[in-house]
């Protein structure tokens, strides 16, 4: 398959392209756990991450302008390492990174495929991957320094630094906890749509003109027009039954609770005590 930017065809130039991506909930839980355990979270940024991945498909590219071989101007290059804009590059990079970590005694999370854990007796190092951004932390800083060296031995990456900004989350790590906000992101959105100078209001409704009952109108059947909506991944669902909506909401909440519980067990918590209002974390 000759490749010209986006000219790949599924089934010919690539097959599987999906790579695991950390959920925003996983990042928030990671930070909550770090705050609970009292350790610093660090971040490293991979340089040209996609170039490390090895692709399985047979792909060829034209010689780029200005870099043509004068002896073979009509030849093409066979791609071995992934290139940016190849559909399979994210998956190839993830597999390369995951295999490297697994070879170095890391274990992959049972629930979250972007979480990697390394345990040594009662100590643990947690690594969360989001494409080419990696955050990690441990109670022992020497574990973090050793992880940085491990990564630098194979990949070109930025030096380890304290996590301050990740996935549009501003992160402040203090002695009394880890605090996150999205002030910068909100300002960017307001500026993008021209609302940066708009006067704010506590409510968009004119409070000086209260709603009045239409004495000549018919009463509305509240059961007929009682619409409850909720979002489920990529689609918004509307139910005419409040009971049905409550069942779906409860099921979604229960699934989320189970996910959090299993994630915490991956973190190394030997026992997680649950009830309707309290989550107690018991470390090893």
Q: At what angle do helices 24-37 and 242-267 cross, to 10 degrees?
A: 50
Q: Is 135 helix (H, G, I), strand (E, B) or coil?
A: strand
- The whole-number pLDDT of residue 45 equals 82
Cα torsion through 192, 45, 163, 284, rounded to 10: 130
Neighbours of 236 (CB within 10 A): 9
Strands 165-166 and 169-174: antiparallel
Return per-residue pLDDT of the chain as tens, 284 residues: 444 445 555 555 555 556 777 888 889 899 999 998 889 999 988 877 777 777 777 777 788 788 888 888 888 888 777 776 677 777 888 888 999 999 999 999 988 899 999 998 888 999 999 888 899 999 899 999 999 999 999 888 888 889 998 888 899 999 888 998 888 888 888 888 888 888 877 776 777 777 777 788 777 665 554 544 445 544 555 555 566 777 888 888 888 888 888 888 888 776 555 544 444 555 44
Q: What is the pTM of this model?
A: 0.70
- The whole-number pLDDT of residue 56 equals 72
Neighbours of 169 (CB within 10 A): 17
**What totals of helices (H) and strands (E) does the chain contain, helices first?**
5, 16
List the domain boundaries for the chain.
Answer: 223-284
Helix ranges (H only) for the chain are: 24-37, 89-103, 141-152, 183-192, 242-267
Shortest CA distance to 127 belongs to which of 152, 103, 157, 148? 148
């Amino acid at each position: 398959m000759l490749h010209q930017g986006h000219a790949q065809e599924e089934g010919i130039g690539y097959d599987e392209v999906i790579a695991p991506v950390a959920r925003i909930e996983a990042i928030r839980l990671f930070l909550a756990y770090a705050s609970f355990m009292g350790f610093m979270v660090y971040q490293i940024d991979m340089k040209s991450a996609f170039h490390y991945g090895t692709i399985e498909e047979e792909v060829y590219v034209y010689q780029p302008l200005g870099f043509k071989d004068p002896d073979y101007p009509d030849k093409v290059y066979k791609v071995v390492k992934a290139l940016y804009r190849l559909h399979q590059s994210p998956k190839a990079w993830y597999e390369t990174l995951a295999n490297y970590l697994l070879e170095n005694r890391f274990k992959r999370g049972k629930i979250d495929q972007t979480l990697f854990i390394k345990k040594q007796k009662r100590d643990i190092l947690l690594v969360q991957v989001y494409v080419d951004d990696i955050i990690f932390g441990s109670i022992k800083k020497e574990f973090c320094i050793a992880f940085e060296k491990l990564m630098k031995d194979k990949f070109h990456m930025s030096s380890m630094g304290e996590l301050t900004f990740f996935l549009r989350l501003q992160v402040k790590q203090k002695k009394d906890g880890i605090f996150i906000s999205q002030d910068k992101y909100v300002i960017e959105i307001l500026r993008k749509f021209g609302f940066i100078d708009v006067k704010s209001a506590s409510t968009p409704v004119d409070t000086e003109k209260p709603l009045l009952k239409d004495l000549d109108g018919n009463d509305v059947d509240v059961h007929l027009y009682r619409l409850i909506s909720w979002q489920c991944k990529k689609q918004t669902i509307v139910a005419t039954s409040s009971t049905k909506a409550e069942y779906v909401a409860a099921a979604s909440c229960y699934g989320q609770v189970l996910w959090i519980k299993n994630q915490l067990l991956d973190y190394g918590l030997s026992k997680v005590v649950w009830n309707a209002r309290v989550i107690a974390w018991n470390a090893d």
